Amino acid sequence: MRAFLLTALCFGLSTLSAADVEVAVDGVDAVKGALLVGFFDNADDFQIPGKEVEGSPEIEVTEAGRIVCTMKDLKPGVYAVAVIWDLNNNGILDTGTFKRPREAYGFSLNPKVKFTAPKFEECSFVVTEAGGKLQVTLLK
């Protein structure tokens, strides 16, 4: 009986469809740089450059205001998003004294950020086959 349930569960998970997740980023007040929208699927890789889910969007900023992008074909599961407004297009979040960010950044679910970056669990959300929409407000 257990083998049947395990087989049924595995078959069911393997047939889940990929979803599209729309991310609206608020706080872009100049035409400069790019938005790096990193989707992460586990706590160990969260916020580590190069560890984003493949296909995470990078959007050139061509207008000020709300910027909307879509992550396509995301497998259902638990994710967190980190956004960097990369003003100088160097692919990283530039920091200054005491590692204080010099560029705007934000996270899914807009957690309060005090002295350190939030944890994966504070930003995580569930993606279903239906996909969904997120809103991220940049912090400066």
Write down the pLDDT at residue 50: 93
Q: Return d(Cα 28, Cα 5) in angstroms, integer.
A: 49
Q: Block means of pLDDT (10 residues each) for the chain, length 140 residues?
A: 35 68 98 98 96 97 98 97 98 92 97 93 97 96
Write down the pLDDT at residue 105: 98
Write down the pLDDT at residue 115: 85
CB atoms near residue 118 (< 10 Å): 20
Write down the pLDDT at residue 98: 87
Q: Return d(Cα 123, Cα 69) in angstroms, integer.
A: 18
Tokens describing residue 37: 């929208």
Q: Return d(Cα 17, Cα 40) in angstroms, integer.
A: 19
Q: Return d(Cα 108, Cα 127) in angstroms, integer.
A: 12
